[in-house]
């Protein structure tokens, strides 16, 4: 056994492998006794950045919140900004109104908070009132009398001209007759119309005289008839002037009332003057709307007095894009868009189908998140907006121009060929907060040249906090606060202690508490469920432990199948005896959010060669770059440590046996080096050990991740086959403070059935694995006799000599052939 060979100082004591929180150190019985804790703990740096973004008034100081999910980023951002927004004044209202000169370019109106809705109501009332007043005006006796006088005047002028012409023609013996084809001139004799046969019997000179009279009178008749349209046009113009004069009085009186209500807003007054002019010129719209509703149907009872609902009068509507009550205490708006498509971010212009064509107008402009958040804060999920077509470029364009321009997807990709609206851009003044992970932030920094110009601030959320009595007390208060917020039972002190233990495991560090509050909250809610099933009023340690075990059981199907494969020796893993060039390595397998350790058989084969170290995983493209880097480091270590006075003449191959997926990371490089040293020295390696750790070119063993899962993976394999007392795991010494192993592992270590060795160098590790000293170089430059290093160096020197002899033999053979 290794400890019998003088390795006691390398064994990790049981008290260092599981740093539990003692319930007695928590000064409460249940979390009901604790004061609530608002906000987060351990995120001072990130919260300072959020505070700067909220208070900074200069543009482009938008914020990217980065960090892993489950750290409370969304809640922290919303909570902080919500508190900060209350202290700010409500922003302006914005509305779109008709541009009577260019209807395809609606006008954007800025109004003080609450005034946009007031303007909309005033315009609706104005239209409703005029839809009653104007028809009543045209039905009044005064208007009807004036209109009849005007009609009679122009009617008599037309009739008088025709009568005078008829009298003149009659005096000359010509009659004016009205036929279905129009007016006709014909001769009369003795008061009767001269028929064609009678006309033909007249002498030629008399016929000629009559025809000359008819031709002369025909020209005069043409002039009289041509004067009729002129008289009609003049009549219509006079009628229009009368209508304008009469309606102008009604419209002006009513619009002046609205003007007085908005006499402090020049832009609104300019719009209202344009409304007055257009209403006066289009009074017939009110006559039509008084009689008909939408699609020509009569107004139903509900629409009585609601003329503004008539589509023909939508031209006088006010499309309120965003409005804030003047009396509201909410302050600046805070918006979160969970589906940040192009339309939902920048707004959209809707269309309706009418007789096979798509129609739109300014009342169909709909606001987006930028409109609603204007003057305040907009929170977006970075990954979602980047995944939506055109949404990210549109957001950047709006931030760069500091205005909101509404364009459809079809317009942006050049697919829109029909004329659409071009609404006035609305000035933009807001703070955008993107929430994403660190990888996404790095990609944006590296590949989007506009990103850092627009998002000058980053709030980087911590994943862990230093463990101390103070931080544990804060953590307990945070757990209690979340339990109250979610309506859960109070948590007993031992339950909180058990949650803190799980937090240490989640942090992969016994000196840190995890700030992945989402995962801890899920665990707490599940424990509360089990406590409720058992009829308890509080959540205790047993409930938390049950939740942990059930969570692992639900996710462990793949783990169980792999354990079964090892137990049935489908996957060959040895836990006893020794083997040359074979080491049990340790890896972590991730499946969803569940991770577990899995031992892997690593083998090495060596022979004389030209200094080539083959990574079989890399050769077949199953090895990732980090794994390949680790293998190259092994070559550097071997060539710089052994047989320095001869050429490096090794040909070696390394492989993870029975792995059929990708391998990456350098955490197996120490195990691979041990396999190489065993193959070179021909010393068997104890298969009762498993190894994890990376190595540098000087032989120092470095820390790796997932140390707890890796140890537990080999422990469970040994446990299934029966613990013998000489089994164990070799880890880097720098990983000791990360240990937070399950209780059953700690119990086995305490009983002497399992051991954990912590090493700093390759020499320490190979000595444990082979049971032989690694050996140091003496003053003569040689390693201690029969040590591992001496055997390795001797083999490499032998390879060099074999290579030299082979080269000489080959050269001699070539000369003999010559």
Supply the residues annotated as catalytic.
667, 710
**DSSP-based three-state secondary structure for 731:** strand
Q: How far is the C-alpha of 111 from the C-alpha of 93, rounded, in Å? A: 5
Q: How far is the C-alpha of 249 from the C-alpha of 776, rounded, in Å? A: 112
| Residue 421 CA neighbour count, 13 Å, CB half | 29
Nearest Cα neighbor of 7 from 680, 737, 675, 733 is: 733
Exposure string (b/e) for 277-301, b if CB count within 10 Å is 16 or more? ebbbbebebbbebbeebeeeeebee
Nearest Cα neighbor of 718 from 586, 628, 609 is: 586
Residue 81 tokens, joined: 């900004």
Residue 308 tokens, joined: 């503004």
Q: Rounded to whole angstroms, what are the CA distances from 612 to 609, 636, 648?
A: 7, 11, 9
| Residue 649 CA neighbour count, 13 Å, CB half | 20
Q: What is the C-alpha R_g of the chain? A: 47
Packing angle of the helix pair 204-261, 115-138 (nearest 10 deg): 140
Packing angle of the helix pair 469-485, 517-533 (nearest 10 deg): 60
**DSSP-based three-state secondary structure for 597:** strand
Q: How far is the C-alpha of 43 from the C-alpha of 559, rounded, in Å? A: 35
Q: How far is the C-alpha of 650 from the C-alpha of 795, rounded, in Å? A: 9
DSSP assignment letter at 17: T
What pairs with residue 182 in β-bridges? 179
Q: How far is the C-alpha of 549 from the C-alpha of 534, rounded, in Å? A: 17
DSSP 742-791: -HHHHHHHHTTS-EEEEESBHHHHHHHHHSS----B-TTS-BPTTSHHHH
Q: How far is the C-alpha of 292 from the C-alpha of 605, rounded, in Å? A: 95
Q: How far is the C-alpha of 349 from the C-alpha of 24, rounded, in Å? A: 64
Nearest Cα neighbor of 270 from 281, 258, 283 is: 258
| 483 and 462 Cβ atoms separated by less than 8 Å | no
Q: Rounded to whole angstroms, what are the CA distances from 495 to 23, 62, 527, 538, 636?
A: 8, 41, 9, 9, 50
Q: Rounded to whole angstroms, what are the CA distances from 35 to 26, 337, 476, 480, 558?
A: 14, 33, 10, 8, 43
């Amino acid at each position: 056994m290794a400890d019998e060979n003088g390795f006691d100082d390398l064994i990790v004591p049981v008290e260092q492998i599981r740093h539990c929180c003692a319930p007695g150190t928590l000064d409460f019985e249940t979390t009901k006794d604790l004061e609530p804790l608002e906000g987060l703990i351990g995120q001072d740096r990130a919260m300072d950045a959020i505070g700067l973004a909220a208070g900074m008034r200069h543009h482009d100081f938008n914020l990217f919140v980065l960090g892993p999910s489950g750290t409370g980023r969304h809640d922290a951002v919303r909570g902080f900004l919500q508190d900060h927004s209350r202290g700010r004044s409500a922003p302006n209202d914005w509305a779109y109104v008709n541009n009577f000169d260019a209807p395809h370019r609606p006008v954007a109106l800025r109004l003080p908070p609450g005034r946009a809705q007031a303007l909309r109501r005033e315009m609706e009332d104005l239209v409703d009132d005029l839809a009653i007043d104007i028809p009543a005006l045209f039905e009044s006796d005064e208007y009807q009398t004036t209109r009849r006088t005007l009609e009679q005047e122009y009617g008599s002028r037309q009739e008088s001209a025709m009568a005078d012409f008829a009298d003149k023609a009659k005096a000359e013996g010509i009659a004016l007759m009205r036929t279905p084809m129009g007016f006709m001139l014909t001769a009369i004799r003795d008061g009767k119309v001269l028929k064609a046969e009678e006309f033909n019997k007249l002498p030629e000179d008399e016929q000629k005289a009559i025809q000359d009279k008819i031709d002369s009178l025909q020209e005069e008749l043409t002039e009289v008839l041509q004067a009729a349209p002129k008289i009609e046009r003049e009549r219509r113009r006079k009628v229009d002037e009368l209508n304008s004069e009469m309606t102008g009085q009604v419209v002006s009186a009513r619009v002046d009332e609205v003007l007085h209500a908005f006499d402090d807003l020049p832009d609104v007054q300019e719009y209202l003057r344009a409304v007055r002019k257009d209403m006066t010129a289009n009074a017939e719209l009110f006559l039509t709307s008084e009689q008909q509703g939408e699609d020509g149907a009569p107004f139903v009872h509900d629409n009585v007095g609601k003329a503004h609902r008539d589509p023909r009068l939508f031209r006088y509507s006010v499309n309120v894009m965003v409005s804030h009550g003047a009396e509201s205490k909410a302050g600046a708006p805070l918006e979160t868009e969970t589906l940040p498509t192009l339309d939902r971010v920048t707004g959209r212009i809707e269309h309706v189908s009418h007789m096979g064509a798509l129609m739109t107008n300014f009342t169909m402009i709909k606001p987006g998140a930028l409109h609603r958040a204007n003057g305040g804060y907009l929170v977006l999920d970075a990954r979602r907006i980047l995944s939506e077509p055109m949404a990210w470029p549109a957001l950047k364009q709006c931030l760069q121009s500091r205005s909101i321009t509404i364009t459809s997807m079809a317009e942006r990709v050049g697919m829109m060929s029909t004329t659409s609206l071009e609404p006035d851009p609305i000035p933009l003044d807001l703070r955008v907060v993107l929430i994403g992970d660190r990888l996404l932030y790095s990609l944006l920094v590296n590949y989007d040249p506009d990103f850092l110009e627009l998002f000058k601030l980053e709030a980087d959320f911590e994943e862990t906090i230093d463990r101390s009595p103070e931080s544990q007390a804060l953590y307990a208060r945070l757990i209690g606060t979340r339990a109250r917020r979610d309506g859960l039972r109070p948590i007993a002190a031992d339950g909180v202690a058990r949650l803190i233990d799980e937090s240490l495991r989640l942090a992969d560090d016994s000196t840190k508490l995890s700030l992945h509050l989402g995962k801890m909250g899920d665990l707490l809610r599940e424990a509360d469920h089990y406590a409720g099933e058992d009829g308890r009023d509080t959540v205790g340690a047993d409930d938390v432990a049950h939740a942990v075990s059930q969570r692992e059981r639900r996710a462990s199907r793949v783990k169980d199948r792999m354990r079964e494969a090892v137990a049935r020796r489908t996957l060959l893993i040895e836990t006893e005896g020794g083997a040359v060039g074979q080491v049990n390595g340790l890896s972590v397998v991730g499946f969803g959010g569940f991770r577990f350790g899995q031992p892997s058989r690593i083998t090495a084969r060596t022979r004389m060669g030209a200094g080539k170290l083959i990574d079989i995983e890399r050769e077949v493209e199953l090895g990732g770059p980090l794994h390949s880097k680790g293998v190259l480091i092994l070559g550097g270590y071997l060539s710089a440590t052994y047989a320095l006075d001869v050429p490096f003449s090794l040909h070696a191959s390394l492989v993870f046996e029975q792995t059929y997926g990708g391998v990456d990371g350098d955490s197996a490089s120490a195990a691979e080096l041990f396999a190489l040293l065993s193959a070179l020295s021909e010393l068997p390696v104890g298969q009762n050990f498993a190894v994890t750790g990376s190595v540098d070119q000087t032989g120092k063993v470095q820390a790796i991740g997932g140390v707890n899962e890796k140890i537990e993976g080999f422990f469970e394999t040994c446990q299934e086959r029966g613990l013998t007392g000489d089994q164990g795991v070799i880890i880097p010494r720098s990983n000791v403070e990360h240990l937070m192993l399950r209780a059953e592992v700690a119990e086995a270590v305490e009983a002497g059935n399992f051991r954990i060795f912590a090493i700093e160098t390759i020499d320490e590790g190979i000595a444990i694995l082979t049971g032989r000293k690694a050996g140091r170089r003496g003053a003569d430059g040689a390693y201690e006799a029969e040590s591992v290093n001496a055997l390795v160096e001797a083999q490499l020197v032998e390879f060099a000599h074999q290579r030299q002899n082979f080269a000489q033999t080959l050269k001699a053979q070539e000369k003999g052939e010559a």
